[in-house]
Chain A
Amino acid sequence: MDIALIGRIVPVFVQAAWTTVELSLLSLALGLAVAALVAMLRLSHVAALRFAGAAYVSVFRGTPALIQIFLLYFGGPQVGIQFEPFAAGAIALGLNIAAYMAESIRGGVLSVDRGQMEAARSLGFGEGQSMRWIVLPQAAKLMIRPLGVNAVALVKGTALVATISVVELTYTAQRFIGSTYKPFEIFAVTAVLYMIMVYGLTLLIDRLDRAYAGEA
């Protein structure tokens, strides 16, 4: 182990890890917003909307995230859509994880007993009101864990944007492995930073789940 090398590279890698955090947060925000919309489509009374939601989930889950990133970044300009690598990466990752998160949200809503909706309706709540005030608060607790699993997968998935030259953690690791010829030192530093993010997030989700879903 070349400790001096590790000391020298840590600042650069922490910087790169911060880019990974930014990417994760941005695509998480986009992913949750799109996922909420897609889940609404999936739960709609209108068959065409249900189909649209199902098609979104099927297409984004049925094809590799890597190709989705390439399609947006390399193929986008052909149809008039042009983004910087970072933005293209964040958008593609967000749209991809949205398909998985939509299923987590839908699963949560469907796990709430039908009687809750029926009881709310019979008490005079409208359909939207029942969903908003009765069903969703109960469903939200059940979504914490599955959405957390999606978020952890997203953090690891951000490595894919190294392929379109976004200078995040994996890209930086690859460049340093190539230039220092010290693969294990580089891997050790990179792995520690990823594991702080991944297991830190896992711990946070466990806490949230125990705090809110405990009584369910």
Chain B
Amino acid sequence: MQGLDFSIVPEYWPLIGKGLWWTVVISTASAVLSVLAGIGFALLVLYASPVVRYPVRLFMWLFMGTPLLLQLFLIYFGLVQIGIDIPAIWSGIIALSLHFAVYNADIFRAGIAALDKGQTEAARSLGFGAWRTRIYIVVPQAVRGTVPAVGNMMIALLKESSIVSMIGIAELVHSAQLVISETYRPFEFYLTAAALYYGLNLILEAVLRGIERKVELSR
């Protein structure tokens, strides 16, 4: 037992701050991609021909039934063995995006199914094609109702982005690990990292509340 000493934390702020920045970058990129891919998957599952629909459903089923860490290992350590060499940072972003896209797709699918059929009929009768109707009329309206549920997914995504530290991406947890290997003070620096995640989480929750209010007003 060596006791705790938080006074050394500020000295390592440059490194920790850099990690924090990368956590924000990776989470934001993955959040955007997971929403876009989620909408895409939802549309394919609902409307594409069986040749496309069933593989997408199989993929969703596979990714919902397995842990993110396993998916990350498959993408980073696995693909390179069959000649697909994706840099660590992109492996991390792809794994996070696909993992959460699958959950988002389920939410969007329910949102689209809940939308009034009259919207589609009206657009079609005004001369919109089937896919133009889905993309310009159905999706924008359906997505509004899904903001709270997708927001919860994004809160989970921010926390789970810590997992990409396992493939050596220099985000917050990995930066903490680097500092710990130098200082031998895991408790202080993991607690610091935890506090920073907590802060990021509060900010994200405030942002999501703002978006929810805006969406409510424009409905």
Task: Give the nearest-CB partner of A159 in chain B.
Answer: B67
| Chain B residues within 8 Å of A67, by CB | 162, 173, 190, 193-194, 197
Main secondary structure of the interface of B (DSSP, over half): helix
Main secondary structure of the interface of A (DSSP, over half): helix
Q: A62-B197, A63-B159, A173-B70 are in contact. Are A184 and B190 (CB under 8 A)?
A: no
Q: In the complex, how many angstroms separate the beta carbon of B56 from the nearest chain A beta carbon?
A: 17
Which of A26-34, A104-112, A187-195, A204-212 lies on the face that meets chain B?
A187-195
Q: In the complex, how many angstroms separate the beta carbon of B115 from the nearest chain A beta carbon?
A: 25
Q: 1/0 per position for B176-219, CB-CB distance to A under 8 A? A: 00001000011110110110011001100000000000000000
| Chain A residues within 8 Å of B191, by CB | 71, 75
A125 contacts B by Cβ under 8 Å:
no
A19 to B67 Cα, complex, angstroms = 15
The number of residues on chain A lying at the interface, defined by a beta carbon within 8 Å of a beta carbon of chain B, is 42
Q: In the complex, how many angstroms separate the beta carbon of B184 from the nearest chain A beta carbon?
A: 9
Q: Enumerate A146-170 residues with CB–CB distance to B below 8 Å.
A: 156-160, 162-163, 169-170
Q: Out of B67, B79, B162, B190, which one reaches A194, CB within 8 Å?
A: B67
Q: 1/0 per position for B73-90, CB-CB distance to A under 8 A? A: 110011101100000000
Q: Out of B65, B73, B81, B194, which one reaches A174, CB within 8 Å?
A: B73
Q: 1/0 per position for B58-71, CB-CB distance to A under 8 A? A: 00011011111110
Q: Enumerate A23-61 residues with CB–CB distance to B below 8 Å.
A: 59
Q: Out of B1, B67, B159, which one reaches A78, CB within 8 Å?
A: B1
Question: Can you show 15 pairs from A to B with CB atoms below 8 A apart?
Answer: A62-B202, A64-B163, A67-B193, A68-B194, A70-B186, A74-B187, A78-B186, A79-B187, A156-B68, A159-B67, A177-B77, A184-B78, A195-B62, A195-B66, A198-B66
B residues lining the A interface (CB < 8 Å): 1-4, 61-62, 64-70, 73-74, 77-79, 81-82, 159-160, 162-163, 165-166, 173, 180, 185-188, 190-191, 193-194, 197-198, 201-202
